[in-house]
Structure 1
């Protein structure tokens, strides 16, 4: 089974909705899900926020976080995912975020910039009490710009079920998880 179809099946079987907060992937995560028949039952909203001002203004990423850790960082990815879930119109249970460098045309050409292909992800889950639990990872992908972006989108989706399974059992149960 392909990854987007597997995730749509997983989300639908548990009555879960997903939001995306994407930078480098530019909407590919949401697009990959939307390509699966029946995905309307589980895809809530997708944000594409490339710029620092967009990340701050639409997703609530703190400017201090971006300055301290850089745009390609797990800290920024975490705030993107959590910010998506906190938007007034968002009714998702899970948010997936991505920020990274697809090629060498990144954040300013500084030697401190992460290498091309570096992608930071976060998966944030809204618990029954309204609190959020967030997981983050950094991975590096090879290939051309769009190869990296496509691989990152699929990777982001492929880890949804893994991190759902990391939630405390009583929180998974509230979302139709294993009893």
Structure 2
């Protein structure tokens, strides 16, 4: 079973609804998932938010975060994911921001993508963040990033439900083991 089919199946089996907040992938995460028939029952929305103003307006990303850490940062991806989770009818939100190309920006190399996954489980919100580097041209980076975001959904959600993950419990504002 390929990545897209297995991700849809996982979302359906766990009755999860997904929202995405995508910068460098510009909606490709949700678009890739939507290629699979029946995926619509597991998708709430996909938001493509490129500009700082759109990130702030639609997802509440603070301008202070962007000014302090930059558009391509784990801090910004974190706020994107939390905004997508809080402002939509979803159990899990996936966000990314990065440099797909063609040129580096602010000394950040092409292919750098910051991700965040925000999940609700048992009345708590958990957050995972990571930064990855993908090789290739602009659209190669975008597709690899979209697939990576989807691939990690079962990993992070599974860790939370198995109580194996060390995650950030947003509601308690402290590090915790789920």
TM normalised by structure 1 equals 0.87
Residues 48-104 of structure 1: CA distance to partner in whole angstroms, max 9, x if unpaired? 1000000011111111111111100111001001001111xx211000011000114
Contact in 2 for aligned 1:104/1:115 (Cα 8 Å):
no
1:8 counterpart = 2:8: yes
- How far did 1:151 drift? 0.5
Which residue of 2 is the match for residue 36 of structure 1? 36
Q: Who is 2:134 aligned against?
A: 141
Work out which of the residue numbers 139, 145, 150 in structure 2 matches 1:152: 145
Asked which structure has the greater RCO (Cα within 8 Å, sep 6+), the reply is 1
Q: Greater strand percent: which structure?
A: 2
Q: Could you list the per-position Cα deviations for residues 24-49 of structure 1 after superposition, in whole angstroms to 9, with x for gaps in the alignment?
A: 00000000111101101101111110
Tell me the equivalent position of 1:115.
109
Consecutive unaligned residues of structure 1, counting only runs of 5 or more, are 171-179
Question: Which digits, 9 at most, give the CA deviation of each residue in 1:119-165, with x for residues without a partner?
Answer: 00000001232x32110010000100000000000000000011012
Number of aligned residues: 165
The TM-score with structure 2 as length reference comes to: 0.88
- Does residue 84 in structure 1 map to residue 88 in structure 2? no
Runs of 4+ in 1 over 4 A off after TM superposition: none
CA contact (8 A) 2:102 2:137 kept: no
Please name the residue that 2:156 is paired with: 163
RMSD of Structure 2 on Structure 1 (CA): 1.7
Distance (Å, rounded) in 2 between the aligned partners of 1:77 and 1:144: 22
Cα deviation per residue 1:6-26 (whole Å; 9 max; x = unaligned)? 110000011111110000000
Contiguous gaps of at least 5 residues in structure 2: 164-178
SS at structure 1 position matched to 2:110 = coil
Query: In structure 1, how many angstroms separate the alpha carbons of the residues matched to 2:26 and 2:107?
Result: 20
